[in-house]
Amino acid sequence: MAVDALCSPLGPPACEKDAKALQFIEEMTRSADAVQESVLAEILSRNAQTEYLRMYNLDGATDRESFKSKIPMVTYEDLQPIIQRIANGDRSPILSSHPISEFLTSSGTSAGERKLMPTIQEELDRRQLLYSLLMPVMNLYMPGLDKGKGLYFLFVKSETKTPGGLMARPVLTSYYKSNHFKTRAFDPYNVYTSPNEAILCPDSFQSMYSQMLCGLYERKQVLRLGAIFASGLLRAIRFLQLNWRELAHDIRTGTLNSKISDSDIRGCMARVLRSDPELANFIEFECSKENWERIITRIWPNTKYLEVIVTGAMSQYIPTLDYYSGGLPKVCTMYASSECYFGLNLNPMCKPSEVSYTIMPNMAYFEFLPHDPNSLTVTSDKLVDLVNVEVGKEYELVITTYAGLCRYRVGDILRVTGFHNSAPQFSFIRRKNVLLSIDSDKTDEAELQSAVDNASVVLNEFNTTVVEYTSYADTKTIPGHYVIYWELLSKDSSKFPTQDVLEKCCLAMEESLNSVYRQGRVECNSIGPLEIRVVKNGTFEELMDYAISRGASINQYKVPRCVNYTPITELLDSRVVSSHFSQRLPHWTPERRR
Ligand code: AMP
């Protein structure tokens, strides 16, 4: 059949396979409510005999009314005892009638540890289905992507086992290690420069080095460059800054750096390596320049766009990405989590500020809690169905998944921007309670407070206390790092804490932060050493005066525990008397599951 004959309302597909994908999107979004109803019925009927649904006396009902009247909305903490039982080896059908195949470790934490999300084998198919829709949409806006390759920096992270023997690992590690990814069919529109062996190497240096080397060899074929998050792509650029001499040496000689010891990588790189002095000269010429502006387009001249998430906390990296890429379009393709993959961006070439994700109604059952930051009590009777959300309003996402999470609060706040057919589209506003984030780490106010409390203990013997503090995610450095501003009160000026003591405070704070933060510091090198900037006495009073001059009420004024607004960070920085960095890595080992 001629591809034109399959023309989708989204636009003319690039090939027949794309036509089918676009048609699927149309079908799902046109009948969003009916799809949702049947997704819920399927989840409830297959899980009717689970301990969880029986506990709420659903009695096999699969309709929305019974579900809504009997099943409560929950948080991770509510489910934790059940999840722990599964982790400990209870194989009875607790949440899902299908066996829990593994746990996906979320970057969201609970009591300092990654949350464990149960999943079932068939979820891999659902994830792959969502992935399969991305290129057909992209091809509508960017023709010719089958004429070259994508340089994507993709990584696996370490995995552990729960006491009951189930694997616990991040969702992308699970996906890259699955046959769905490893033995994927050749698709001319989706060819990567990175070999699977390089992606699957758990050592982040070796993985990055070999992915970069392949990307350099194929620099003219590269049409798009990406990583999952903007921070990851910037880390790759930083890696090039630090390692271009060794990479150029390998290209010149056609040999592989001895630091690359992974035998699978060495095996596959033997097929890629060749001596190319001209390319080596070019890399050296470009990388030795002082100015790295537009380095991406200089080295990869045919790059049409960057594919990275720049929504949510990642928007802080947009100016740096623009600097290195000369303002190439930044494409955010999808919105997903360990709990469930949610949806995709149907207008991927739009500006980052306009990105909206269309939730695919086949992925799970979705409900929306109207977001009211002032309300202390939330009740499930306020939940709104997918098709009934209102444009302009903000909601918290609540999901019911095939793996057995029921009316689970994800913690993301979304705003409705419009509809595609009857499926709503959302801009990602923020994750609840996140104060600081550099990469996938998420630090909330309570965690920061307790880190400051623990670090201040170090100051006791100096008769010094932290009178006020605030924080800032500094992304001007790569990797970015946390900056904590401290105003100190020393009762004994002859004993003011020394540089060494304040460095210990930095480390003490890092030791107190959650495991995702510490993993970022130790395993992924995605977060730089924490910095304490000691400010002059009276600085926080000035900060209050500034806020009041801008209309804050003097009675209600609270010190912001995180500052982003430039005049405020400038004010703080102008009062810094000393700055101190953590000199050691905090403790981190792949989590042991109780
Ligand atoms: P994790 O469970 O570690 O996979 O993290 C999932 C979380 O990452 C989501 O709940 C969001 O808070 C965030 N996230 C995922 N995709 C996006 C996106 N496209 N834009 C902004 N935030 C995202």
- Contact between 564 and 480 under an 8 Å Cβ cutoff? The reply is no
Which residue do the tokens 């790569």 mark?
478
- pLDDT 10s digit of each residue in the chain, 594 long? 445 555 788 889 999 999 999 999 999 999 999 999 999 999 999 999 999 999 999 999 999 999 999 999 999 999 999 999 999 999 999 999 999 999 999 999 999 999 999 999 999 999 999 999 999 999 999 999 999 999 999 999 999 999 999 999 999 999 999 999 999 999 999 999 999 999 999 999 999 999 999 999 999 999 999 999 999 999 999 999 999 999 999 999 999 999 999 999 999 999 999 999 999 999 999 999 999 999 999 999 999 999 999 999 999 999 999 999 999 999 999 999 999 999 999 999 999 999 999 999 999 999 999 998 777 778 888 999 999 999 999 999 999 999 999 999 999 999 999 999 999 999 999 999 999 999 999 999 999 999 999 999 999 999 999 999 999 999 999 999 999 999 999 988 788 899 999 999 999 999 999 999 999 999 999 999 999 999 999 999 999 999 999 988 888 899 999 999 999 999 999 999 999 999 999 999 986 554
Cβ-count burial 195-218 (b if 16+ within 10 Å, e if not)? bbbbbbbebbebbbbbbbbbbbbb
DSSP 3-state of 446: helix
Distance (Å, whole) CA 4 – CA 7: 5
Residue 592 has what pLDDT?
Answer: 52
Residue 378 has what pLDDT?
Answer: 82
Report the nearest-CA residue for atom 10 of ligand 1. 337
pTM, whole model, 2 decimals?
A: 0.95
Centre of ligand 1 from the C-alpha of residue 337, in Å: 5
Environment class of 560 (CB within 10 Å of its CB; exposed 0-12, middle 13-18, buried 19+): middle
Centre of ligand 1 from the C-alpha of residue 297, in Å: 28
Residue 4 has what pLDDT?
Answer: 52
Residue 6 has what pLDDT?
Answer: 56
Residue 495 has what pLDDT?
Answer: 82
Which ligand 1 atom minimizes the distance to the CA of 172? 4
Report the nearest-CA residue for atom 6 of ligand 1. 337
Centre of ligand 1 from the C-alpha of residue 445, in Å: 19
Please choose from 331, 332, 335 the residue to mutate so as to test ligand 1's pocket, defined by most ligand atoms within 8 A of CB.
Answer: 335
Which ligand 1 atom minimizes the distance to the CA of 107? 3
Ligand 1 proximal residues by C-beta, below 6 Å: 106-108, 171, 309, 311-312, 332, 335-338, 410, 412, 428, 431, 440
DSSP 3-state of 502: helix
Residue 69 has what pLDDT?
Answer: 97
Distance (Å, whole) CA 455 – CA 462: 13
Distance (Å, whole) CA 57 – CA 509: 46
Please choose from 130, 309, 398 the residue to mutate so as to test ligand 1's pocket, defined by most ligand atoms within 8 A of CB.
Answer: 309
DSSP 3-state of 460: helix
Centre of ligand 1 from the C-alpha of residue 335, in Å: 6
Distance (Å, whole) CA 345 – CA 356: 6
Residue 110 has what pLDDT?
Answer: 94
For the chain, state the CA radius of gyration.
Answer: 25
Q: What is the DSSP letter of 315?
A: G
Element (H, E) at 546: helix 539-549
C-alpha neighbours within 13 Å on the C-beta side of residue 258:
0
Distance (Å, whole) CA 428 – CA 416: 9
Sheet bearing 149-153, strands edge to edge = 149-153, 222-229, 305-309, 330-331
Centre of ligand 1 from the C-alpha of residue 30, in Å: 26
Centre of ligand 1 from the C-alpha of residue 489, in Å: 40
